[in-house]
Amino acid sequence: MKKKIAALAVSIALALSAVSCGKAEKSDENTIKIAYLPITHSLAVLEEAEELEEQSGTKVELVKYGSWSELLDALNSNRVDGASVLIELAMKSKQEGIGLKAVALGHHDGNVIVVSNDIETAADLKGKTFAIPHRQSSHNILLNDALATAGLTVDDLTVTELAPTEMPSALASGQIDGYCVAEPFGAMGVSLGAGKVLFSSEELWEDSLCCGLVLTDKFIDERPEDAKTFVEKYKSAGNALDKEKAKEVAKKYLSQSDEVLDISLRWISYNDLDITEETYNKLAEKVKEYGLSDNPPAYEDFVKNDF
């Protein structure tokens, strides 16, 4: 275990080195600035960036951020044209009057509930400490769904917000008893042997939404043809992103071991990235049910499919 913890420390150091504060510099009219965090949930936009420039001459400037709050600040202030972002965060911004449209999913599935090895059922989480990356996240919703299988609520345990990079080591040290977060950090805890998967997202919430591709209204209004091309190429890139290709892209951008990526990429897919009204409305119901928002934006106001 000591060797594995040391290996985890190296992996986390690499992950942290890959997570730097982004600066969206002014760029030419052929450039599209897209914000992202270095996680497997962003792989479709990372894959598209190179393809779009090769095929059309339009450059995608990938702007890397170290936290959701930093990314959201850049998105909400129009310092970037769009982002791969937790869809609940974008919904909250839209609710607060920010001009955004969700134009595609980031991925399908790809989230797990990771718990310490002595926890066998959701009922065992009672009285424990569980980490999520942000209250406005599908990870919070999945925690609520998992607890509901045992007749529990978040009032029956301690819920804490931690940075994704801190979660595997926090589980290994006993600081927390479980977590749910964007990949590959769930896989890191499993690879270490510090925890195991209690639930995968599809077991709790079929067709769950998590990260989405969001564009600013400013970009869509001022550059409608670029926006249309970008979204079309993004969806095509997702359809072509099989496990082998996804691992290739992940190794380039995420600085993770083969073992961690192999585990993580079992849980996720990138095809058919349209946001349907049915799946969005299910998300909106859960957002209200679990107290993330009393008034999430309506599908027709927030989701744009008519490019």
Q: Both 230 and 160 in a single domain?
A: no
User: How many of the other CB atoms lie within 10 Å of CB of 151?
Assistant: 10
Q: Is the residue at 307 inside a domain?
A: no
Chain-centroid distance of CA 150 in Å reads: 26
Asked if 85 and 233 sit in the same domain, the reply is yes
Q: Does residue 38 form part of some domain?
A: yes
Domain boundary among 153, 179, 204: 204
To which residue do tokens 């600013």 refer?
216
Full pLDDT tens readout for the chain, 307 residues? 544 544 454 454 444 444 444 555 444 678 999 999 999 999 999 999 878 877 777 899 999 999 999 999 999 999 999 999 999 999 999 999 999 999 999 999 999 999 999 999 999 999 999 999 999 999 999 999 999 999 999 999 999 999 999 999 999 999 999 999 999 999 999 999 999 999 999 999 998 999 999 999 999 999 999 999 999 999 999 999 999 999 999 999 998 999 999 999 999 999 999 999 999 999 999 999 999 999 999 999 999 998 8
Same domain? 119 vs 251: no
Is the same domain home to 79 and 125?
A: no
Last residue of a domain, one of 204, 236, 256: 204
Same domain? 64 vs 11: yes
pTM: 0.89
pLDDT of residue 38: 94
In this structure, are 160 and 242 located in the same domain?
A: no
Enter the tokens of residue 183.
């990949």
Tell whether 143 and 233 lie within a shared domain. Answer: no
Q: What CATH number is associated with residue 96?
A: 3.40.190.10
Q: Answer yes or no: do 105 and 128 share one domain.
A: no
The CA-based angle 4-10-15, given to 5 degrees, is: 120
User: Residue 104: is it exposed, middle or buried by C-beta count within 10 angstroms (0-12/13-18/19+)?
Assistant: buried
Say if residues 75 and 93 touch (Cβ distance below 8 Å).
yes
Same domain, 198 and 143: yes
Task: Give alpha helix (H) positions in the chain.
Answer: 2-18, 43-56, 68-76, 87-95, 138-148, 167-173, 185-192, 201-204, 217-222, 224-239, 243-254, 258-264, 277-289, 299-302
**E strand or H helix at 200, and its extent?**
strand 195-200
Domain count, the chain: 2
Structure token pair of residue 153: 């609520």
Domain range for residue 250?
2-109+208-302
